[in-house]
Amino acid sequence: MRRVAALIVEATAADVCFVHLVDEERTCLVLTGATPPFDELAGTIELAIGEGVAGWVAEHGQPLVVEDKWQDPRYKYIPALRGEDYASLVSLPMVRRGRHVVGVVNVHSKERRHVSAEELAVLSDVAGLLAGIVDNARLYSRLAEREAELERFAAGTIELQELERRRVAADVHDGISQRLVSLWYHLSAAEENLASNPSQVAAELASAKELTTAALEEARRTIVGLRPAVLDDLGLGPGLESLAATLPGVSAVVEVEACDVPAHVETALFRIAQEALQNVAKHSAATSVHVALTATASGARLVVADDGRGFDVEREARRADAYGLAGMSERAALVGARVTVASTPGEGTTVTVDVPRGNGS
C-alpha cells in the first residue's frame, strides 16, 4: 500500500496520498499505506465508517472531490496527518464485487486544485484496481490461514493417534502382559508339580484359569477402546453407559438426553469421556462418578464429575499430558468444542465439554 500511494502521487502530481482499508471485524477504516513521512503511521490511524471524508466515502461508496476541505463539514482534522499543509482533497472508494467497499484512497494537494471529470474517472479506475489487489490479498491471506489450520489439524490428529497408541500400550503393559506373566508362572508351577502334587497342580490351574479370564476381559476393554463399536450399534448414550460400567469399585450414574450431533462429534465425546473415566479409575480414588450428556441452548454438553481427591489444575496442566488434559483438549478442538476442567484438592474433579451448535448439535 505504501508503494501504491507513491505511484498515485507520481501519476497525479499530487502531494500526498493515504490508503485506508476497511477492517470488517471492527467496522472501521485503518490507515494502511501512505507516502513518506506518513508511511510510519500505518496501522495507527483509525476512522469509524461515516467519520471524516474518508469515512463518508466508505459509507456511501461514492468518490468525493473537496477543493477546500476547510469549508466541508465532513472533513475531520487529524494532527498526525498535518492537514493544515494541504488544501484540496480527492477521496475515492476502493470498490469490489457487488459494490463492496474494501478501502478508501485520499489524494491531497497543497494548493487548491480543480479535478476534472476525466481525472476523476482515471483515479476511480485506479482505486478499482487497488480494490482488486486488496481483495486478492485478503483471499490469499484467508487461504494461508486455512492451510495453517489444516496443518494444525493434521498435527493434532497425529498427536492424538500417538496418545491413543501410548494409552493402548500402557493398558497392555499394565493389564494383559502382567496377567500373562503371572499365568506363565502358574502354569510352570503346575508343570513342576504334575507328578508329585496333584492338589497343587489343581490350585495352580484354577489360578491360571482366573488369570486367563481376567486377561480376556482386559483384552476386551482394550479392543473396545480401540474401536467403540457400541457407537455404531447403539449410539452415544449406551456407549457412555458401557464406559461407566467398566469402572472398578466406583458407583456410576449416567444421565443422557437426546443430542443431535454428527458421528465424528459422538466419537470425540466418547473418547473424552473415556479419558476422563480412566483418570477417575487411575488417579482420583473416587467412590462415585456422575456422567451427564445434555442438549443446551448453544449446543451439547458432556459432564464427568467425581468425588475423588481432586488436584491443582494449573500445576498439573504444566506437566506433559498430565491426566490426559492435553489429549482431551486437542480432541475437543478438532471438532470445535471446548474442554473445561475444574478441580480442587480434596473436593473432586469435573470435566465439562461444550460443543457449539454450529459444530453438529
- Classify 2-115 by CATH class: alpha beta
Q: Are the beta carbons of 12 and 107 closer than 8 angstroms?
A: yes
Where residue 360 falls among pLDDT bands split at 50, 70, 90? very low
Helix, strand, or coil (residue 4): helix
Least confident of 34-48, 127-141, 292-306: 127-141
Q: Per-residue pLDDT tens for 8-32? A: 887 777 899 999 998 877 789 999 8
Q: Are the beta carbons of 17 and 108 closer than 8 angstroms?
A: yes
Least confident of 63-77, 112-126, 262-276, 288-302: 112-126
Question: How many whole angstroms separate alpha carbon 265 and alpha carbon 269?
Answer: 6
Least confident of 76-80, 161-165, 256-260: 161-165
Fold match between 2-115 and 234-361? no
| Single-letter amino acid, residue 346 | G
Domain boundary assignment for the chain: 2-115, 234-361
pLDDT for position 256: 92
pTM score of the predicted model? 0.47
Can you spell out the DSSP letters for 50-97? Answer: TSHHHHHHHHH---EEESSGGG-TT----GGGTGGG--EEEEEEEEEG
pLDDT for position 51: 93
Burial of residue 360, with CB atoms counted within 10 A of its CB: 0-12 exposed, 13-18 middle, 19 or more buried: buried
pLDDT for position 98: 65
pLDDT for position 361: 45
Mean pLDDT of 159-172: 74
Find out if CATH 3.30.565.10 is the number for domain 234-361.
yes
